[in-house]
Structure 1
Amino acid sequence: MYLLHLLFVPLHKAALKGDWEAAKELLIKDPSLVKDSLTEGGETALHISAVEGHSFFVHNLLKLMQDSDIEILNKKGTTALCFAAAAGNLNIVKLMVHRNPDLPTIRGPDGVTPLYMAAFLGHTHVADYLFPLSDFQSWTVEDQITLLTTTIDSQLYGLAMTIVDQWKSLAVVEDSNGETALQVLARKPLVFCRSSNTSQGLCGRIASAILLRYTKVRTHDIRAPCDAYTLLDCLWNIVICQEEDVETTRVVTKNTTKLFFIAAESGNEEFLVELIRRYPDFLYKVNESKQSIFHIAVLHRYVQVFNLLYELRGAKDLMATYVDKDGNNMLHLAARLAPQNQLNLIPGAALQMQREVLWYKEVEKIVQPSYRNKKNSSGKTPWELFVSEHEELMKQGEKMMKQTAKSCMLVTILIATVVFTAAFTVPGGYDNANGTPILKNHRLFVVFPISEAVATLSSLTSMLMFLSILTSRYSGNDFLNTLPFWMVVGVAALFVSIVAMMVAFCTCLLFYQHGFGAVTVLLVMFASVPIIFIVLKYPLLVTILRCTYGCKALFRSNNRLLS
């Protein structure tokens, strides 16, 4: 029926645009429009203007409304204040609450409150403002824990701290997903800002250090990532105190053990470090599959979690002896194909295969020699499992390497042909009397034979490297060092040959005595060819070098557990 009312559409447009003058004229004609639904969803002009953030429009509209009009729900049972809170407009929220203080406590059929909407969408200031007005103490425990876990999910750690400070029992209560507040926090590795920089490059570590130093002098922000540590301390201390109650000891112990493995499966190494410092016995716990956190780290390819193993010294050998319920030791787990999200961090199937081999070799150093040929419940040794799991990735890596080698080899052959031919055709020709080059006394002449020799030698070297790639066996071990080394040398030699060829060509142009302007233009054009090559191939070279040689320091102790 709303479509039949000729004034609904103009008022709807005015509310969307925040055009109060147009809306005012319509409301003078029909004052009842102030509480009429303008949309099929039952939204009034107040709903629409609030979500669009038109403060002036809302301010004037509220003057024309009764308290009951402001409390109107749409068809989903949502007030206009919920819309304003969802939009994160604190000014409009304050206008509505000042006009009707009961608004923050009004719930829809699904029990959604304005405070929950603000917390769910991460609007810090709106949530902080609404919390003391929402009668939180009268909420059910289910609603309270839902709000607490929602604030943690949205990184509103200041509000979460306020809740657990006043309602400490919520720290051990499970939400509708069966998770406690600590378990939700354990799934958020990115909010812990003190994470190790070992996997970053030099520039990355310097930038992180500068950023960390800068953030230390900033004023306190309740959404700052480092507040996750404060919340962790608070929740953990409450959980420890809860263990004094005999009735809850079993539940708390179960939840804290589960918490440990949730953090491991999420790759939250900083969270794990904090827990182990507080309760070192966690290191020896296993999950339902009889896997330790280090087995989980290998399975999910979490380098920083796995590196904690190097800090255990003697206990490291003990951990490596654990066998899960399927008969898999740690090397079997390293033989499994990495999760796709971890593979996607490395560009190209060949380099992904290289990282997989690197993981296998690293774990192989840790496990007992007898475990390297031990079969699991499926009757497979670690290497047999590795080959079967990585068969498709190995084919893709081989295809990638061969395609790159073929395309580069074509260019290398052309360069070798050109420079070899040009070596016998020197600029200016030969003296018919004695067969020596006519321009041999020219000061730039010596550049030509040297550049020709360098171009020939580098192009032949590049050709040999690419030929080696094309004829390789492509076994698993070849992807670790041999194939990347050949590719790096081949591409680097190809670049040198291009530069040398351009130097030889430009040297010939400099011998011309006339048309200096045209020669200069040609020199600039041909000198740009190596630059274009660098732009095109530099990412490939850097990626291969980083993955091949930068990962040498990937597995090492960072001395964090006992620091």
Structure 2
Amino acid sequence: MSLEIHEEDGGASGARSATKVMSVSGSGKRGRYVRQVTGRHNDTDLHVAARGGDAAALRRALLDAAAAVAATGEAPEDLEAARRAVAAEPNEAGETPLVAAAERGHLGVVVELLRHLDAEGLAAKNRSGYDALHVAAREGRHAVVQEMLNHDRMLAKTSGPANTTPLISAAMRGHIEVVELLLEQDDFGLVEMARDNGKNALHFAARQGHTGIVKALLEKDPQLARRNDKKGQTALHMAVKGTSCDVLRALVDADPAIVMLPDKNGNTALHVATRKKRAEIVSVLLRLPDTHVNALTRDHKTAFDIAEGLPVCEESCEIKDILSQHGALRSRELNQPRDELRKTVTEIKKDVHTQLEQTRKTNKNVHGIAKELRKLHREGINNATNSVTVVAVLFATVAFAAIFTVPGGNDNNGLAVVVQTTSFKIFFIFNAVALFTSLAVVVVQITVVRGETKSERRVVEVINKLMWIASVCTTISFIASCYIVLGRHFQWAAILVSLIGGVTMAGVLGTMTYYVVKSKRQRKIRKKEKMSRRSGSSSWYDNTELSDTELNPVYAL
């Protein structure tokens, strides 16, 4: 079976008329059901019956449609399909008979249509975007809303333009019976649903001053008072724009703390009421214990500043008097202690910045001094190493020459004359030690690459010890050569030279050794003291990059 609906134009004398023709075809037969359409939106006879509340005329129209189908000999289920198609047919305004009947509250017509409509027909919307339940809720048709919810309770979740729910429309219009009915059916969060701008049913009811609806919504969900829209406004912000003090009290009784909740611009309910010139609302708000009369908006304005910016009129003068009686101040008067504190903080910041800058300069100077000291230290080490190199070469030269100019002379074979004497043996051994020690020092000085001050100093310490050995060996070699040259007749002179040399070298080496040990002991003591000070607190010395070893005397022992 197939259904086809189209229009046929006709009429006379310039009058506009048309007929709706439903062609029913099936099993090789074809029938025609013709209906007259009238009115500005080309309403069918079902629309006319629905608007007039004539349930009998509606049933006759549906029977005529069924009769046209029956003439084709179709099955009973095809008759019901024809009734559904006719019952859900919209006019040019997109309005179905069910929407027309629901808007006017014709319960009998709605009941009759519900018998023949499927889910798609129930949810059909007019060109404004509202379905039948939404229209009935907006117009306060309690009986129609109840009947439709009994038929399909999920219809309450439908939404119109800007995501407007039936609950929001009923609350906006003040239809408390419809609101209570919808809240009874609400087990899927209908009370929390909001429009695209974030406003829920409580926002609109509070703005319009519908106290009963506000109380019903808060009884369903007390936390609804804290919900805000996309501008950050709560229902209290909306309520103080109106004139109902009862709505204000109902909201505050549900949650006293909302009186100081700001919107995105920092406006509390007191700021909004002052801007709207609601003197009575301002008076009620200021009597609440949680209201702060000198609260600031984001642009640093108090309620008194807003009142002074209003045009001069009776309401603005009254609001200023009320605010003054409750200790309201201008923002500039309120900020005097804050300005002083800001000035003090600025001065402290300036002083701290000056001190930090001075510290930075001091550290820079200390860094420069440390750099100069390291430079001088490195130059001193270089000079010392150069001097040691020259002395080592000199020692090696003397020792090398002494072996070829042996004291006492050589025989014809080139052998030393006094080779068997103890003095010569001592001379030969210590002369060789002095030679090789000096050569070792020269090799080290030539080979080692200088770069790190601490490492250079350690090398110098080792070299100095080697030069001590070379000096002692050279001294002993000289004394031994004296015994060889002077012989037995002048042995007293050799002994005298030995005493002079031994005392001199022993005194020098002993004194140097004493100072080396003393310096190392003092260095350990200072290091322990510095570690104990650093464990308690840090000081600017940590940034000077001067180590304890770099502040020691330049000589390396």
TM over 0.5: no
TM-score (norm 1): 0.43
TM-score (norm 2): 0.43
**More relative contact order in 1 or in 2 (CA 8 Å, sep 6+)?**
1
User: Which structure: greater strand fraction?
Assistant: 2
Bigger CA radius of gyration: 2
